Amino acid sequence: MSTRKQYNRKKSYNHSENRVGFVKAKKSLGQNFLNDRVVVQDIVLCGEVEACDAVIEIGPGRGAMTGELASRAGLVIAVEIDKDLIPGLEELARLYGNIELIHGDILKLDVEKDIVDKYVRPRGLSKVKVIANLPYYITTPIIMKFLEDCPQLIDCMVIMVQKEVAQRMTAKPGGKDYGAMTVTVNYFTESSIEFIVPPHCFSPQPGVDSAVVKLKMRSEPPFETPDRDYFFKTVKAAFLQRRKTLANALANSPMTSVSVSDVTEALAEMGINVMARGETLSGEQFAELSGKLLRRK
Ligand code: SAM
């Protein structure tokens, strides 16, 4: 964790001043709106946003970050699912002139076709950054979508998530936080927790602390995978039954199609205890194991 800032309780952001105005928050859409201007500025600074950047903001909400992003970026593509927030955001877009508003579900969009081809490439912008205070009910699917579908299109992601999700993304092997998400995030990105944000910086307040995480996309994976698809299947199968030994977890999974003896032989070849659990293996060890299993399948 690079910094641990303290955000004081004095609210420095008032939504009645905001052009999007007051729309009642919907819990079902993960609406915890930022009410602290310092936090907003710190998130935008983390993204090192420049005029040559296109920023995808997932869930602009009442626009707490959108104007700040638009004043620095070449273009902001703001994707909001809630129709009640659209009129206010349209007004904000008219005011800035470099905000493209998409009324839709980020999980249903094709990032390349619906966003990059349509808005970014025609303007010749060089980098695409994802900067967002994410809706917590779909944090993992959103992160996985960007990492698995289009890592080559994105420069970095600066995202507010629940603190425990941030800890899972940046965990080291051996602990309870380490899992499939950690291995996947580390394969595609260099990750860091930038700062912790307490509940009073939002309205309504979430029940937990939040954290801003920066995921800088790697230009090359950190290690080779004999078959990327099978590597990710091995990782997912290992953590679906994380209390089991690796041999039992992988042998019981239709994703890997191997026997207990295939796994124990492969682990023995690698000098790893045959009773090991998935949480003790690094990403690189999973890659080696998946290669050995693939040859035995
Ligand atoms: N960016 C605003 C802020 O910081 O105050 C709002 C953040 S709020 C945590 C999450 C936002 O994501 C809400 O505006 C919500 O309506 C929107 N949202 C929820 N699900 C979404 C989805 N599937 N696609 C796009 N936006 C979504």
| Topology of domain 228-296, CATH | Helicase, Ruva Protein; domain 3 (1.10.8)
What are the residue ranges of CATH 3.40.50.150 in the chain?
A: 15-217
Q: Mean pLDDT over residues 77-99, rounded?
A: 97
Q: Whose CA is nearest to atom 24 of ligand 1?
A: 105
Identify the residue whose C-alpha is closest to ligand 1 atom 12: 59
Q: Which atom of ligand 1 is nearest to the CA of 31?
A: 8
CA dihedral 87, 91, 97, 99 (to 10 degrees): -40
For ligand 1, atom 14, the nearest C-alpha belongs to: 61
Atom of ligand 1 nearest to the CA of 202: 5
Find the angle CA(140)-CA(285)-CA(239) to the nearest 5 degrees.
40
Contact call for residues 158 and 131 (beta carbons, < 8 A): yes
Tokens of 75: 């273009």
How far is the C-alpha of 198 from the C-alpha of 58, rounded, in Å?
21
Q: How far is the CA of 255 from the centre of ligand 1 (A)?
A: 33
Per-residue model confidence (pLDDT) at position 24? 85
Average pLDDT over residues 65-89: 97
Ligand 1 pocket, residue 160 CB under 6 Å: no
- 17 φ, ψ to 5°? -80, -15
Q: In Å, what is the CA distance from 181 to each residue of 28, 99, 140, 143, 272?
A: 24, 32, 8, 9, 22
pLDDT of residue 2: 46
Which residues make up the CATH 1.10.8.100 domain(s) of the chain?
228-296
Q: Which of 224, 197, 234 is nearest to 212 (CA)?
A: 197
Question: How many CB atoms within 10 Å of residue 147?
Answer: 19
Q: Whose CA is nearest to atom 10 of ligand 1?
A: 135
- Per-residue pLDDT tens for 37-57? 999 999 999 999 999 999 999
pLDDT digits (tens, 9 = 90+) for 172-184: 999 999 999 999 9
CATH class of 15-217: alpha beta
